[in-house]
Amino acid sequence: MTTARLARAGRALLPRVLAIALLTGAWQLLVVIGVQSPTGVPLPGPGDAVGAMADLTRQGLLLPALLNTITRAATGYALALVIGTIIGAAVARVPLLRSAVGSLLAGLQALPSVVWVPIAALFLVAGGHDENAMYFVVVMGAFPSIAMGVMSSYDNIPPLTFRLARSLGAKGPQLYRHFIFSALLPGYVAGMKQAWAFSWRSLMAAELIIGSLAGAGLGTLLDNGRALLDLPEMFAAVLTILIVGIAVDDVIFSPVERALLRRRGLLAA
Amino acid sequence: MNLALRARPRLLVAEEADEVAVRLAGVTKVYGKGRGSVTALDDVSLDVGKGEFVCILGASGCGKSTLLSLIAGLDRATAGRIDTPVAHPAVMFQEPGLLPWLTVRRNVELPLRLRHSADGERRVIVNRLLAMVKLIDFADSRPHELSGGMRQRAALARALAQDSQLLLMDEPFAALDAITRDSLHDDLTRIWGDCGNTIIFVTHNVREAVRLADRVVLMTSRPGRVGRIWDVDIPRPRTLDSADVAALATEITATLRLEVSSDDR
Ligand SMILES: Nc1ncnc2c1ncn2[C@@H]1O[C@H](COP(=O)(O)OP(=O)(O)OP(=O)(O)O)[C@@H](O)[C@H]1O
Ligand SMILES: [Mg+2]
């Protein structure tokens, strides 16, 4: 039983390991053929990047930066979740609001949230609220996905579900608890997953451009590397950003989403 | 007819409501507006007595499901009146309509949960219903893991769990094999005899209608109207292949055939 499960996990992991090996190999190849920047700085290889990660960790720079960034991301994401859920629910249920802001939401979702960075920098950072500036950018990046997730999954509830609820006499809180919430869940989680990708992206842009007095983040690390022409440090920062982004999706969102879909028979076994 | 009904003295209406489970008076249902509109029902009037078992037959698309959803209060009639003293008729829809996120047991329990019935009582009722529809072994399965007929049986158990005085069933046994269907006919007849509820049952199977019903209503199509009505005086218990059932079924089928072919013109 356990060996079978291990074997299954191994089979699932194997393609990923292969893909990573392939990419690392391609990267190493670029280094071997001597790719360098126009100013003559050689491209660091995967080994250099991992070495730089180790150095940064030893110097006590990487972990605090990681912690700062993750705290910011989590706070901003939580805010976006609350705001997006409220707005999504309101837009889904109130026809007037829907015609007023429904298409605006879709537009906001497509808008790259980097565009908010200069504005946030001007209004909030200049006022001494640099953390707030980052939250603002993250929220603007993430909340439309959440709101759209709520709205579109509400629209996709089959009419039969509402007819059943009515024929069973479910109204108000019962209607929500036993029918609407559960019916919304897969679409909501899909929205949350997308919102995470957007908030992580937005936060990196904000950290890179705004920086922070309250504490360096991964974006700041990347910017420092650029300022010092320390390419291995830059690559170390990029790798860390990539790994966190993937890990959060892999550990939190994807398993929840898959479990939900599998339970409803919406996923090929 | 409409006016006459409303003009009656209150007392009489109340007295009559005691015997009538559903009263349809001049019910018309038009879907859509203008040129693309469809008249699904046209001036349908029908009284269903309390405790009566009525089967509705009619060609596909003649408005049977529409009629049930109007009686259930899930849709509004374009004209006419529908009176029923039952606040929430139990409905078994043409599609099973099980909630995909709940197990079979949870689906069947749902009406009881919504009524806040006690845990112990709920278990007893649900186990009895699951045993009746032979789904005990699948109590913890999800709807997508069931066959079409199993889903229908689960939906039947849920409708019965609602324990309503009025049960509306839309082709409930369409996806079942003959043996299972026959045993559910027995169960349904027994439950109906025990609790004296009113059942309106839509089917395409004429023998099934004759085996179950006190009255068989044949609907005409385009627009949907009440065509002929047969009183079924065959004593119970009946079986599908008894001579009396077969004879009446043959007569009804002949009329139905005329009806359906005239519809093709
Ligand atoms: N929501 C709807 N919008 C528009 N037209 C509808 C709608 N529901 C039903 N109709 C039309 O009303 C007519 C009656 O439909 P209904 O579903 O009541 O038929 P039925 O007698 O139940 O048929 P079947 O035996 O095939 O289930 C059909 O012509 C159908 O096209
Ligand atoms: Mg129908």
Tens of pLDDT, residues A61-84: 999 999 999 999 999 999 999 999
Tell me the CB-side half-sphere exposure of residue B46, using CA atoms within 13 A: 27
Q: Which of B73, B101, B113 sits opposite A182 (nearest CB)?
A: B101
Cα separation, A195 vs B12, in Å, equals 63
**Rounded Cα–Cα distance for residues B157 and B133 (Å):** 7
pLDDT tens sequence for chain B (265 residues): 343 333 333 333 444 545 899 999 999 999 998 888 999 999 999 999 999 999 999 999 999 999 999 999 999 999 999 999 888 899 999 999 999 999 999 999 999 999 998 999 999 999 999 999 999 999 999 999 999 889 999 999 999 999 999 999 999 998 899 998 998 999 899 989 988 899 999 999 999 999 999 999 999 988 889 989 999 999 988 998 899 999 999 999 999 888 877 755 4
Of B90, B111, B144, the CB nearest to A264: B144
How remote is the CA of residue B170 from the centroid of ligand 2, in Å?
7
- Interface TM-score (ipTM) > 0.90: no
* A210 in Cβ contact with A120 (< 8 Å): yes
Question: Which of A9-23, A109-123, B71-85 reaches the highest mean pLDDT?
Answer: B71-85
From chain B, the residues in CB contact with A180 under 8 A are none
pLDDT band at A156 (very low <50, low <70, confident <90, very high): very high
CATH of the domain at A217: 1.10.3720.10
- Retrieve residue A46's tokens: 């995967």
The range of the structural domain enclosing residue A86 comes to 44-263
Residue B124's pLDDT is: 94
Choose, out of A162, A167, A257, the residue to mutate when testing the contact with B (most B CBs < 10 Å): A167
- Report the distance separating Cα A120 and Cα A128, nearest Å: 11
* DSSP-derived 3-state class of residue B46: strand
- Closest partner residue to A169 (CB to CB) among B88, B102, B145 is B88
pLDDT at position A34 is: 87
pLDDT at residue A99, rounded to an integer:
85
Judge whether A164 is closer than 8 Å to chain B, CB to CB: yes
Kindly give the residue spans of alpha helices, DSSP state H, lying in B101-205.
Answer: 104-114, 119-132, 148-161, 178-195
B57-to-A109, A269, B3 alpha-carbon distances in Å: 52, 41, 29
Note the pLDDT of residue A62: 93
Q: What is the mean pLDDT of residues A255-267?
A: 90
CB of A258 less than 8 A from some CB of B = no
A169, B100: Cβ pair inside 8 Å?
A: no
Residue nearest to atom 23 of ligand 1 (CA): B61
pLDDT for A211 = 73
What phi, psi does B73 have (nearest 5°)? 75, 20
**For B133-167, b where at least 16 C-beta lie within 10 A, e where not — what string?**
bebeebbeebbeebeebbbbbbbbbbbbbbbbbbb
Closest by CA position to B176, among listed B149, B156, B148? B149
Q: Is the pLDDT of residue A182 over 50?
A: yes
State the pLDDT at residue B169.
96
A168, A178, A263: residue with CB nearest B162: A168
Q: Do B91 and A265 touch (CB under 8 A)?
A: no
pLDDT at B11: 38
* Interface check A161 vs B, CB under 8 A: yes
Nearest-CA residue for ligand 1 atom 26 is B60
Q: B144, A169: Cβ pair inside 8 Å? A: no
Cα B257 to ligand 1 centroid, rounded to whole Å: 20
Q: Does B228 touch chain A (CB under 8 A)?
A: no
Pairs of residues, one from chain A and one from chain B, whose beta carbons lie less than 8 Å apart:
55
With an 8 Å Cβ cutoff, are B97 and A163 in contact? yes
User: What atom of ligand 1 comes closest to residue B66's alpha carbon?
Assistant: 18
A21: in domain = no
Q: What is the reported pLDDT for B263?
A: 59
Q: Considering its fold, how many domains does chain A have in total?
A: 1
A183–chain B Cβ distance below 8 A for any pair: yes
- pLDDT class of A215 with cuts at 50, 70, 90: confident
- What whole-number distance in Å separates Cα of residue B129 and Cα of residue B154? 9
Banded model confidence at residue A37, pLDDT cuts 50, 70, 90: confident
Whether A222 is in a domain gets the answer yes
B69 and A163 within 8 Å at the Cβ level: the answer is: yes
Atom number in ligand 1 closest to CA B32: 4
**What distance in angstroms lies between residue B50's CA and the mean position of ligand 2's atoms?**
24
Classify residue A6: in a domain, yes or no. Answer: no
- What's the pLDDT at B15? 47
CA dist A98 and A80 (Å) reads 19
Inside any domain, residue A11: no
In a domain, A269, yes or no: no
Question: Tell me, what's the pLDDT at B9?
Answer: 34
Contact A168, B162 (CB under 8 A): yes
Please say if the pLDDT value at position A261 is more than 50: yes
Q: Which two tokens stand for residue A65?
A: 């930066």
Residues in the ligand 1 pocket, defined by CB under 6 Å = B 31-32, 38, 40, 58, 60-66, 94
Closest-lying ligand to the alpha carbon of B69?
1
Q: Decide if B97 and A174 are in contact by the 8 Å CB cutoff.
A: no
- The answer to whether residue A34 sits within a structural domain is no
Q: Report CA torsion sign: B204, B165, B158, B131.
A: negative
Q: Cβ distance B142 to A263 under 8 Å?
A: yes
Task: Using a CB–CB cutoff of 8 Å, tell me whether A269 touches chain B.
Answer: no
Closest among A210, A240, A253 to A81, alpha carbons compared: A253
List, in sequence order, every residue forming a beta bridge with B38; answer none if it has no partner. B31
Place A9 in a pLDDT band, splitting at 50, 70 and 90.
confident
- Residue A167 in contact with partner chain B when CB distance is under 8 A: yes
Residues in A closer than 8 angstroms to B113, CB to CB, are 178
Residue A268 lies in a domain: no
Antiparallel, parallel or unpaired: β B38-49 and B53-58: unpaired
Report the side by side order of strands in the sheet with B53-58: B90-92, B166-170, B198-202, B53-58, B215-220, B225-231
Determine the Cα–Cα distance for residues B142 and A62; give it in Å rounded to an integer: 47
**Residue with the two structure tokens 């559960």:** A182
Instruction: Check residue A195 and give its pLDDT.
Output: 96
In a domain? residue A36: no
pTM, to two decimals: 0.85
Ligand 1 atom nearest B68 alpha carbon:
18
Q: To 5 degrees, how large is the angle CA A237–CA A45–CA A18?
A: 90
Q: Which tokens go with B3?
A: 């006016």
